[in-house]
A = this chain, B = another copy of it.
Amino acid sequence: MDRKSIAIDMDEVLADTFKKLLKTVNEVCHLSLTEAEVKGNKMWKLLNAEQAIELRKAINSPGFFRDLEVIDSAVQAVKELSEHYDIYIATAAMEVPNSFHDKYEWLIEHFPFLDARYFIFCGDKKVVHADYLIDDTVSQLDAFTGKGILFKANHNENMETNHMQVDNWQEVLELFTSLQVV
């Protein structure tokens, strides 16, 4: 029987983009926002137009996505899942065209056991053909045609959704252990 496949989002699921974003917004906009202040909110709402332009410029600069920290336990969990499932990495890189190369290099560095033929740099995730998608963006899970799993993050904490939900990578492993037909 063919193995089932799990597509996994990058930003705020594998990579701690939020931490880098907070550091960057404070640097380029000369602010001192704390994680608590932007928690549960879109950071963008706190910026004026000029600050938002500066931040967007920083995000689309080569290098922004290259040194992100890995989310807790992601490497070990993905490695375990890869023993039973085909793992695809599906990231909405088209929104930030300068991120392509950084994202590729980051994946090769931190997840060297994954098959790059299954990396998918896309925009709308309805184009992804997989059995499961783990993502922090509700609209992407809605667009996806397989089973969606919402990975909790600052920005989606209070969103209503019917998708399965997990708080961290330990819960992802528990979910797939419970789903697995042994």
Tell me, yes or no, whether A98 is within 8 Å of chain B by CB: yes
Contacting residues, chain B, for A92 (C-beta < 8 A): 117
Interface presence of A100 (CB below 8 A)? yes
Classify chain A: how many residues form its interface, as a range.
Answer: 20 to 34
Distance in angstroms between the alpha carbons of A136 and B3 in the assembled complex: 27
Residues of B within 8 A of A88 (CB): 127
Q: Quick one: which of A80-128 are within 8 Å of B by CB?
A: 88, 90, 92-94, 97-98, 100-101, 104-105, 115-124, 126-128
What's the Cα separation between A145 and B93 when bound, in Å?
24
Which 9 A-B residue pairings sit nearest by Cβ, starting from the closest? A117-B123, A100-B100, A129-B129, A121-B121, A117-B124, A94-B116, A120-B122, A97-B104, A120-B127
